[in-house]
Amino acid sequence: MSWIAHCSEMNNLTSIVALHGLHLLLCLAVLWIVLGLAGMLQTRSTRFVAHFLFPLGAIVCLGVAILAGIFLATGHSPQIAILPLGLPNLPFHARLDTLSGFFLLLIGLAGAGISIFAAGYFRSGEGTAPGLLCLEYHVFLASMALVILADDAYFFMVAWETMALSSYFLVTAQHRIAEIRRAGFLYLLMAHVGALCLLLSFGALQGGRWQFTFDAMRSSSITPFWASAAFLLALLGFGAKAGLVPLHVWLPEAHPAAPSPVSAMMSGLMLSTAVYGMLRISFDILHIRYWWWGAVLLGVGLFSALFGAIFAAVQTDMKRLLAYSSIENIGIIFTGIGLAVLFDAAHLPLFAALALSAALIHTLNHSIFKSLLFLATGSVLHATNQRSLGKLGGLIRSMPWVATLALVGTLAIAGLPPLNGFVSEWLLLQSFLYTPQLPHAFLNMLIPLGAAVLALTAALAAYVMVKFYGVIFLGQHREPSLVHAQDADWLERIGLAWLALGCIVIGVVPQLVLRAAGTVTGTLLGQRVNLSSSFLWLAPIATKQASYSGLLLLAGLVVVVVITFVIVRVLAHGRLRRTVPWDCGYPWQTSRMQDTAEGFGQPIRHMFGSFFAMEVELPSPTDTAPRYRIHIEDRIWRALYLPIARAVQGLASWVGLLQGGRLPIYLLYSFLTLIALLGFVL
């Protein structure tokens, strides 16, 4: 009986979502802003802000996820609303369709975990007051949701800029540290360069009709040249936000500077909005796709992925390492989008749907496991005050909760079955297998090598993550003070556990998210991958070609491990004694003899040396106080950014010549300008 009641309740909810889903979502976004403003009532009260407002924000996140989930599950037609906001005659348009539904689901799911964690994380006395942080944090969340709901270029850009500004203030929460101010400035600069490109891209998209709603852009028939220009500008704009190489330089600076929940939001959620924008423009607004767009996306994506993985392997700061790992994952996602464009341009919609599903699911996965790991570094940072990997170690003994939950994230991001990271990488590799069917003689020989690059990246990611986890949590304490490290508090544990649960559930029952991604590809490409009837199996093309079952894999593993354990205990014995580790005949083992982060990166530096600009300082054998120092830098700084900076400075000094500093000269300028303008008019 109660089951029937439950069913009818569900039906009610679905019909409400069918009618008012968009309005409800907009209300929830407003609710976030209200929560943020409420924080301003008592800016200094950590208890009110952290233990009351942030959990409420998490509940709103859950609400967003549930609404978006129901919308995707029922597969309703798009909903449109015109908001009474904005300029006269230029109101904001909002729209909810499957693509925005998918990304709202992502923001809701990951945001809920981050908000709960943030409730336990933010403390007073660290830079910006908690109440102000609460405002910035919730405006950031709301603006991300609005970016995804926006249906005209004006609203989109307003939300996009709000997102950039609110996150800038969050990054510079500890603004008294000069390094953090510098990182924040770099971030703001790159965000604005990107926004400028986006503005130009929208200008190209309107096709001379001066209509800036996405609906008008969809129906405008722009020439191939302007379509390509719009695509490339969008790639630059969204690439700057997503951190594609060479526009990635702000990422490894800004992510470590921000407080950990903010790093998690930026890396897990904000980068996803850039992926969303790229998909919105290239698959929804532009009605045509050329194969070379796909080749460009594929090349940039693969290079970013490899670049990120290689640089992550040599980092010695745990948050910088994760930032480079984000570049790697964004590269993987753009690789998937590139493949989808290639397949779509060649009229192979099924394979395009496969590649696009892989990209979408990887975006979702990345938002979950990257948030989890950033939050875990936050707990470690609070417990130890250390970000440098060289001063951590052995925390699995003093922080078992964080260590266990971070292990789930580590295995997931390393792309290991049966967790979620593996599912999307598997789908992407599957779609690579069909590239020989592309009708380009050269490309279909080159692209399989792309699969090898992807495999190399995935395996390097595993290397990076073994380093990350091993150096922080395993081994001996590298500093004596680490013995007293405190485990995370219960709110932080809930946040971490929520995200870890996400990693496991998506990994074990990937059909859930594949179904959601299927509704998106159904709208964008008119095709979805094959969903087997049973929830056990993942067979996107056909069972005969390839199948995978995360649940059976996990179940089989658990059963075999348990049986083995029982048999060993029954047939043999369980005797055990604790002793000192084996010392290889050399009795003084100290914690300094373990591999350091630098040591773990050494094979990578050796093999991929040409990627880095390295300075190594080795001690000579006669040094009384030997010192080893290594400094690794991006080559791109010197190759690209410094020349641009110099050019800008040179140009500025030329322009500076105009600045005479005397009033008559300026009046002369005004006079000459007026004369020139008159020449135009007459």
Nearest to 504 by CA among 427, 404, 430: 404
Residue 179 within binding range of other proteins, rule CB under 8 A: no
- Is the Cβ of residue 561 or residue 668 nearer to other proteins in the bound state? 561
For residues 342-401, which are near other proteins according to CB under 8 A? 393-394, 396-397
- Is the Cβ of residue 354 or residue 471 nearer to other proteins in the bound state? 471
SS3 82: strand
Structure tokens that stand for 375 in this block: 């939050």
Residue 570 within binding range of other proteins, rule CB under 8 A: no
Shortest separation between residue 306's beta carbon and other proteins, angstroms: 11
For residues 583-602, which are near other proteins according to CB under 8 A? 583-584, 589, 591, 593-595, 599-600, 602
Residue 444 within binding range of other proteins, rule CB under 8 A: yes
SS3 669: helix
Shortest separation between residue 247's beta carbon and other proteins, angstroms: 26
Residue 672 within binding range of other proteins, rule CB under 8 A: no
Residue 460 within binding range of other proteins, rule CB under 8 A: yes
Nearest to 280 by CA among 238, 308, 323, 247: 238
Residue 164 within binding range of other proteins, rule CB under 8 A: no
DSSP string for 482-536:
GGGPPPP-HHHHHHHHHHHHHHHHHHH-THHHHHHHHHHHHHHHS------SSTT
Residue 430 within binding range of other proteins, rule CB under 8 A: yes
For 649, which DSSP code?
A: H
Task: Select the residue interacting with other proteins from 337, 462, 503, 513 (CB under 8 A).
Answer: 462
**Residue environment code for 473-508, b if the CB has 16+ CB neighbours within 10 A, otherwise e:** bbbebbeeebeebebbeebbbbbbbbbbebbbbbbb
Close Cβ partners of 435 (under 8 Å, ≥ 6 residues apart): 339, 342, 443, 444, 447, 448, 450, 451
Residues 598-637, one symbol each (x = binds other proteins by CB under 8 A, - = not), give: -xx-xx--xx------------------------------
Residue 303 within binding range of other proteins, rule CB under 8 A: no
Task: Select the residue interacting with other proteins from 416, 501, 512, 632 (CB under 8 A).
Answer: 416
Stretch that binds other proteins, among 231-239, 451-459, 629-637, 657-665 (CB under 8 A): 451-459
Close Cβ partners of 484 (under 8 Å, ≥ 6 residues apart): 398
- Is the Cβ of residue 558 or residue 645 nearer to other proteins in the bound state? 558
Nearest to 36 by CA among 137, 154, 181: 137
Question: Are 148 and 273 a contacting pair, CB within 8 Å?
Answer: yes
Residue 572 within binding range of other proteins, rule CB under 8 A: yes
Residue 633 main-chain phi, psi, to 5 deg: -135, 155
Stretch that binds other proteins, among 38-46, 345-353, 376-384, 575-583 (CB under 8 A): 575-583
Shortest separation between residue 399's beta carbon and other proteins, angstroms: 11
Residue 531 within binding range of other proteins, rule CB under 8 A: no
- Is the Cβ of residue 115 or residue 424 nearer to other proteins in the bound state? 424
Beta bridge partners of 81: 94
Query: How many residues in the chain?
Result: 682
Residue 546 within binding range of other proteins, rule CB under 8 A: yes
Task: Select the residue interacting with other proteins from 553, 613, 630, 636 (CB under 8 A).
Answer: 553
Determine the Cα–Cα distance for residues 23 and 5; give it in Å rounded to an integer: 26
Residue 431 within binding range of other proteins, rule CB under 8 A: no
Residue 582 within binding range of other proteins, rule CB under 8 A: yes
For residues 23-62, which are near other proteins according to CB under 8 A? none
Phi/psi class of residue 479: alpha, beta or left (left: φ > 0; alpha: ψ in -120 to 50)?
A: beta
